[in-house]
């Protein structure tokens, strides 16, 4: 407007409205663009995380499987916990582990362990040799991290965070006759679920975690009783037993499993969903540590009947024989405390 033309109230209102509309349009356009970029970034992150920590198949070699995880990092589905299941010529093999800490460094260690397991599980007949392959993968990852953090020190700087990193890990093998073998490196023992309730698979002292200490020269796996039809093994990380509520009380994993075992039979995915919901309720939706759950249930009824028939044909019906301890409950002693992060 010319300087000598007085600006009326109506003109001022119109100018203000025009500025408001233009400004609002700019803000909305920028917000829509940012939301599209955020959706694309989340899609890429979800795809990457699903490749790294992929869910197991619903059935594998006569076993029913289900898994679940909770990440302590907001907006992430993968943290410092790992698990994988593979059908191999030596039976179904499973690994579950927990990397110290969480975030990007922990995810790098998770990728190193899972990559090694997915290859070595099919190549190594002996469970101890498989564990040594995983240990070498962890050691190699730690050396590379230390070298990247301190190039001048060539990875020997004691102040490097990777020098204090370790991985607790459990290797499990279920053979064709449902026999159970396991190697434990500082990890919580699984729970065995069946008609007798929930009990730890073993009470043996675990090996040291992978990373700071070398493995023993001789690795003797724990050998447990075969899984009966309908029995299951719940593998979990220490985040499931160390989860606390607002008052500092720990989550009761074993009582929760006892209630599940006492109820009607439920599919593995329902058991995992029940435990996951209970953990979220206990922690108020914000777990303080990553949690991973993996359930393997024996559905090999025909194979168990065949093996039982062979035993009867070889030595008569041994049902009720007090000397036959092949199907008795495992010891119910509380397992030794796992390594705490």
Percent of the chain at pLDDT above 90? 50
User: Which stretch of DSSP H or E encloses residue 305?
Assistant: helix 301-315
Q: Partners of 184 in the beta sheet?
A: 170
Say yes or no to pLDDT of 292 above 80: yes
Say yes or no to pLDDT of 185 above 50: yes
pLDDT tens digits, one per residue of 298-328:
998 754 444 444 444 444 433 333 333 333 3
pLDDT for the residue 188: 94
pLDDT for the residue 149: 67
User: Which stretch of DSSP H or E encloses residue 146?
Assistant: helix 127-149
Q: What's the mean pLDDT in 209-232?
A: 92
Which are the contacts of 155, defined by CB distance < 8 A and separation ≥ 6? 143, 144, 146, 147
pLDDT tens digits, one per residue of 63-84:
999 999 887 766 555 668 899 9
Q: What's the mean pLDDT in 221-238?
A: 94
Looking at domain 55-312, its CATH architecture is: 4-Layer Sandwich (3.60)
What is the number of alpha carbons within 13 Å of residue 221 lying toward its C-beta? 19
User: Which stretch of DSSP H or E encloses residue 93?
Assistant: strand 91-99
Say yes or no to pLDDT of 186 above 50: yes
As a whole number, the mean pLDDT across the chain is 81
- Residue boundaries of the structural domains of the chain: 55-312
pLDDT tens digits, one per residue of 80-124:
889 999 999 999 999 999 988 656 667 888 889 999 999 999 999
Q: Which of 155-164, 209-218, 317-326 has the least mean pLDDT?
A: 317-326
Whole-structure pTM value: 0.73
pLDDT tens digits, one per residue of 24-60:
999 999 999 888 887 776 666 666 666 677 889 999 9
Q: Output the CA torsion sign for 280, 282, 283, 288.
A: negative
Hey, which of 7-11, 147-151, 263-267 has the most confident mean pLDDT? Answer: 263-267
Separation of alpha carbons 43 and 38, rounded Å: 9
pLDDT for the residue 163: 52
Q: Specify the higher pLDDT residue, 293 or 212.
A: 293
């Amino acid at each position: 407007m010319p300087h000598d033309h007085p600006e009326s109230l109506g003109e001022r209102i119109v100018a203000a409205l025009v500025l408001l509309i233009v400004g609002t349009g700019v803000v909305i356009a920028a917000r829509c663009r940012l939301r599209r970029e955020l959706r694309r970034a989340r899609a890429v992150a979800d795809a990457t995380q699903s490749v790294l920590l992929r869910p197991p198949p619903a059935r594998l070699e006569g076993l029913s499987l289900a898994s679940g995880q909770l990440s302590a990092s907001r907006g992430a589905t993968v943290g410092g916990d790992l698990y994988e299941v593979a059908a191999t010529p030596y039976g179904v093999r499973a690994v579950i582990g927990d990397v110290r800490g969480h975030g990007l460094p922990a995810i790098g260690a998770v990728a190193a362990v899972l990559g090694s397991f997915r290859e070595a599980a099919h190549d190594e007949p002996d469970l101890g040799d498989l564990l040594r392959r995983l240990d070498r993968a962890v050691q190699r990852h730690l050396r590379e991290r230390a070298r990247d953090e301190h190039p001048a020190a060539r990875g020997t700087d004691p102040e490097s965070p990777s020098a204090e990193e370790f991985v607790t890990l459990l290797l499990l093998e279920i053979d064709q006759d449902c026999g159970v073998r396991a190697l434990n490196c500082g990890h919580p023992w699984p729970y065995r679920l069946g008609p007798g309730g929930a009990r730890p698979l073993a009470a043996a002292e675990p090996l040291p975690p992978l990373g700071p200490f070398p493995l023993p020269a001789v690795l003797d796996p724990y050998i447990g009783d075969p899984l009966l039809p309908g029995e299951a093994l719940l593998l979990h990380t220490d985040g499931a037993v160390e989860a606390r509520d607002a008052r500092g009380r720990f989550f009761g994993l074993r009582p929760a499993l006892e209630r599940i075992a006492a109820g009607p039979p439920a599919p593995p995915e329902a058991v995992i969903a029940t435990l996951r919901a209970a953990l979220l309720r206990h922690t108020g939706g914000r777990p303080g540590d990553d949690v991973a759950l993996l359930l393997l249930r024996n559905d090999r009824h025909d194979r168990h009947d065949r093996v039982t028939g062979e035993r009867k044909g070889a030595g008569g019906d041994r049902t009720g024989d007090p000397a036959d301890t092949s199907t008795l409950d495992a010891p119910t002693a509380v397992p030794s405390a796992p390594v705490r992060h």
